[in-house]
Amino acid sequence: MKPISLAILPVCFLLFANTISAQITAVKMNMLYIGVPNPITISCTNGKDIKDLSIMANNSGLIKYIGPGLYEVNITQPGVCEIIERYNDPTKGPVTIAAKSFRVKYVPAATPTLSNGKEGGTISAEDLENCTHLMTILRDFEFDVRSVITSFSLLKIDASGKKAAVYQYRLYV
């Protein structure tokens, strides 16, 4: 008996009739942060008016319309937030056309910094005397977040390296 060889060819059908596509993108970062308004852009193709879409978020997310294609998302819980874009099809009802998940994190901790740029660790008395104020810096963070220092501690170490005094300061703002 002679072996028979068969050729199997893949068949693919592509349908493009009346497809709607959308895109959801974070504007400033690739994640969302708790406590700040997170800007996102939402676009839609195939003639659907963005006003006819419903935009939702899970994970305690609230979405506010800012302008054409621009929204702000406010989140209250860490984890993952999914932004869902739907439109109401007259025959099928609500149809999801886009969904995107974003990681949700807390705003990073601020670094206390002296006005002369010195941060934490050992600071000489001269550096401390030349300082005019204490401030906080959020490194590598794109959002405009302001913080207020309400109290701090200063540890004085004598020349031999022993603790000489601890000063507690409370600021009333």
Q: How high is the pLDDT of residue 2?
A: 54
Residue 124 or residue 6, greater confidence: 124
The radius of gyration computed from the CA coordinates of the chain, to the nearest angstrom, equals 28
pTM of structure:
0.67
Q: How high is the pLDDT of residue 72?
A: 92
Residue 35's nearest CA partner among 143, 139, 136 is 143
Q: In angstroms, rounded to a whole number, what is the distance separating the alpha carbons of residues 78 and 104?
A: 5
156: β partners: 165
Of 6-20, 38-52, 137-151, highest mean pLDDT: 137-151
Range 1-26 average pLDDT: 53
- Element housing 127 (H / E): helix 125-129
Residue 142 or residue 5, greater confidence: 142
Q: How high is the pLDDT of residue 20?
A: 65
- Tell me the per-residue pLDDT of 108-151, one tens digit each, with 9 for 90 and over: 888 888 888 877 777 777 887 888 888 888 877 777 777 778 88
Task: Note the CATH number of domain 22-105.
Answer: 2.60.40.10
Is 155 a residue whose pLDDT tops 70?
yes
Is 13 a residue whose pLDDT tops 60?
no
Contact criterion met (CB below 8 Å) for 85 and 71:
no
Residues of the chain with CATH 2.60.40.10: 22-105
- Tell me the per-residue pLDDT of 71-106, one tens digit each, with 9 for 90 and over: 999 988 999 988 888 877 788 888 888 888 999 999
- Tell me the per-residue pLDDT of 48-62, one tens digit each, with 9 for 90 and over: 666 667 788 887 778
